A and B are shown apart, each in its own frame.
Chain A
């Protein structure tokens, strides 16, 4: 295992990310730099498939940190996000220790004395041995640096959002039975959101806000270059140009980078040398995920190709 790297400049981060296969623009690298320097969580927004989750993975890979992921959904609560008591273990231990308890309490006179003796053992059954740490607690307890990814926070309830505030601003969490647990090392926290609902101002205030849009042609080409290395330069230029044109159309769901990559891989598998209307028509379902969109684009295919060829 190599030693963790410490990013000193924006350019370093950009180069480091590129090594782990994540090509990013200046804005993203800048935000990462600030997140590292200011020790602030990053709220990443943008259309689906532009690499929000990938960013967290790339950061973990680059810094050589462990990635802890918490997927949010409606009804997510503390027990699943923070900690839970190991009920089974508690129960088993009380059963096993029944006899011991009998020994312990032997000779005690009256209820008061028995209770006093029990008190000497403190809250054995509510100590850390019986605590089942969930992602948030894991991130706080980790000795090494970690990257904590709280994915799709907009899917969780408002209550959970408020619950996160303590964690995000002070990197600590209060557990009623044990007390406040502080982070051993501040994790790098990412929150991603698809904007299905507006997040609260309190949450936004505590985070740096990064918006990742669809990439421009040059960036998208270099992403394809890294992710699908075998593809010919000509085809790569054509396909990126085509995708960029498609994004200008009025579609239900616009193709994101992940779809461009999938498409490039598909074309590579088919040993395609150049884009033809027939080829596009037969592989369009990789790029577009709605029947309506596919038929729309098929109708416009000729005009799309004409604009592409003119360039």
Chain B
């Protein structure tokens, strides 16, 4: 019982559910209180003690269903055998109809058609350790290890006998062949489930970590290939929120808040017993993001916006502007639609066309230069390739003078800044700082800095 529980917790952890040891203990207590007869209730009880957010709940549900695929709680009571596959489903492996004469000769055939579920389970466990199923690391290995396990159980002899029996003319032999074929198919199912469970236990966590580290280093323009990139961005954003939402007040030790001190000491008839010190509330940064959405740069803008809109807890106000040949505000779309729709809408309206930084900056300054104030951080994302047009650095300077900080993110590496039609070198003096931003890692680091220094 303990062992199954520990394995289950391990599988959950591998699937991204955070579980502390104390929670495992709670789950054990819950199990004792509830019993394991009623599968649905057991699921609720474990879910309540182990999964602590909505997202974790859905992961828990999936994992529970996969882990306890059949009603196999008998093994809770069975501590002796190391890892017997569930007995009830093995019952189905046994052919209930009596043998019509012919007896299987191969070892595996005998086991499958005549052995008890426990024997089969035992044999499967042995085969699993012979095939080193525990070493499974990636999902594509499932077939390989399944095959190895079946070979270790003596599949070859079984198949030979099966083929021989099927081609034989004796009807009882042919019937045996039929039975053996069915038994083999059922065994294949069993082994597949067994290996899947092992994978769930051993590897899904590792492969997830591997995948995430790959995703974080991949250039952003190629990231669309990955399906779960949005959940990764959300995860990174959540971590940023956690680190940066803590300190909303900075205590300035050494500066007495006279008014507050007097007010709080009224109960002591004005004798100053309690001192109150001045605090400073930390403002959430106001952010204006101006994103180039032409050509390949649009993918970078997409991820920047994805990040910014996942950070509403620590950033009070995000306004998004998109431009290629001209600029417009797209804040509304991002607030109302989901991310993908908003990005598609933006690309539809503005994508394509030759980039014109000068004109876009002009529109931006007429649109809302007066709303840029000392609390505003302006983020500019673009490759600064202006098709040899007028860069209008004077406008950027105007923005820089009003804003708290002006940050330029460039998807190209530093070496290419200023080459060809890139105006980056001319814009750079008016940026508080400018950075290349090519992967999620860099983007995360940038946002973290943004939150730290804008306070």
Contacts and interface: CB of A to CB of B under 8 A. Distances in A.
Contacts of A210: 48
Nearest to A33: B33
A33 B41 CA distance: 11
Interface stretch (B110-118, B237-245, B289-297, B408-416): B237-245
B49 A34 contact: yes
Given A45-B54, A198-B242, A205-B22, A34 B267 contact: no
Interface residues of B, number: 30
The B interface is mostly helix, strand or loop, or mixed, namely: helix
B268 A205 contact: no
A166 interface: no
B112 to A, nearest CB: 40
Contacts of A158: 245-246
B41 A34 contact: no
Contacts of A211: 54, 57
Interface string B223-252: 000000000000000100110011010000
Contacts of A106: none
A61 to B, nearest CB: 22
A226 interface: no
A31 B48 CA distance: 7
Nearest to B314: A197
Contact of B313 (A40, A45, A197): A197
Contacts of A34: 30, 33-34, 45, 48-49
A289 interface: no
A60 B45 CA distance: 22
Contacts, number: 68
Nearest to A204: B52
B8 to A, nearest CB: 17
A197 B314 CA distance: 10
B51 interface: yes
A116 interface: no
B29 interface: yes
A209 B313 contact: no
B221 interface: no
A210 B34 CA distance: 16
Most buried by A among B23, B48, B49: B48
A10 interface: yes
Given A197-B245, A197-B313, A30 B52 contact: no
Contacts of A208: 26, 48-49
Interface string B36-72: 0000110011001101111001000000000000000
A38 B30 contact: yes
A205 B49 contact: no
24 contacts: A10-B41, A26-B40, A27-B48, A30-B34, A31-B44, A33-B34, A34-B33, A34-B45, A34-B48, A34-B49, A37-B29, A38-B26, A43-B52, A45-B54, A88-B267, A91-B267, A91-B268, A157-B248, A198-B313, A201-B18, A204-B52, A204-B53, A206-B22, A209-B49
Nearest first, the 5 A-B pairs at minimum CB distance are A87-B267, A204-B52, A37-B33, A209-B52, A30-B44
Given A204-B52, A205-B22, A205-B52, 15 more contacts: A10-B41, A26-B40, A27-B48, A30-B45, A31-B44, A37-B30, A45-B54, A87-B267, A87-B268, A91-B267, A158-B245, A198-B241, A201-B52, A205-B23, A209-B51
